[in-house]
Structure formats: structure tokens, C-alpha cells
Homo-oligomer: A and B are copies of this chain.
Amino acid sequence: MDYPDLLLRLPRWLGSFPAGPGRVYRSSAERMRLVIELARLNLLHGSGGPFGAAIFAMDSAELLAPGVNMVIPSNCSIAHAEIVALMLAQRRAGSFDLGGEGSPPCELVTSCEPCAMCLGAIPWSGVRRLVCGARGEDAERLGFDEGVKHPGWREAFALRGIEVVEDVCRDEAVEILAAYSGVIYNARRGGAGPVP
């Protein structure tokens, strides 16, 4: 048998936020406001959950790749905003390593602290800095699930040469999470197991 290709089709509206030379977002607040706007538009268009992310070149502040949560429309629990942005940046770079030679150092900016899966993806991606808006505890307070994270992940990232910056436009980032009233997809709640 032939297995189908695994395809994630980005929402068309994302094209209104082009990447490439000249598409620069100078301050970390500007970069955070972009990903919060992506989260807002993702809700507005019904194209996924209230999470936005993007990859930027750290030297030029150029947008390399935006991403939004696409779990429900793409029927894929992997398609968190951070994963989508990382995959798109790697596809555009033609490399599985955004920290490799010849690549500008990259940062991942995300409207909400990454869940356990997305945190785990960061060291493999090659990004050198993680910038977060809302905290994981903000998301959990609103009913989202962050998964099983190592309590010392910040220190472990530092040892791996990955800088972590938190609380950038945190209030604005929390607002967009709080605006969500759709399904909080959380596989274990649909499953047979107990909820802790």
C-alpha cells in the first residue's frame, strides 16, 4: 500500500504576514505583538486555537516564519503554533538545523510559554533564544493543559546555550487566551483514563 503524505496546509490569511528581507520587527515587544495578532486572527478566522508563534533572525530582526495553532482544522495534535513556525522556518531554510553554520542565529517568539512537547522540540530545532508572552500558569488557570515539564527547564536551556526571555507583553498575551471560548482539545479528557 502507499501511505499518504503528511500535509499541513497553512491558513491562507497567514500570507498577509510575509517573511523575508525587509520584514523586520525591531523590538521584542513588536515581535510579541505580531504573534499575539496571529493568535487573535487565528481565532477570528476559525483556523485554530488562540496561539501564535514566529521565528526571527536575531541579528536582523527579520521575520523568517510565522505559525499558528492548527490542531483541530488539520486533525493533527502535533500542529501547535511553535511546531508550525519551526517546520516552516526549516522548510524555508532547507535545513533541519536553524543553528547550523551559514544560518543566522534564530529566536522563537511565542504568545504563550510552550507546552511540554514544544519545549522538547526547541533544542532539536537549533533556535538560540525563546521569548514568551503569557506564562504556562496563565494558560493553566484558563483551563489549558501544559503537559509534564521538567521544573528546571529554564536552567537546562541555559546550559544548552538557549536564552529564555519571559513576560513580554504578558497581559496582552493573556487577554487573547482568555478570549477563547472554543474546544480545549485535550486528548486525555476524551479518553478512558482518569483526569488527575
Contact = CB atoms under 8 A, between A and B. Distances in A.
B97 A86 contact: no
- When all copies of this chain in the complex are counted, the total is 2
A156 interface: yes
Contacts of A128: 191-193
Interface string A102-124: 00010000000001111111011
A7 B6 contact: yes
A77 B91 CA distance: 10
A77 B90 contact: yes
B15 A5 contact: no
Interface in A75-117: 75-78, 83-84, 86-88, 90-101, 105, 115-117
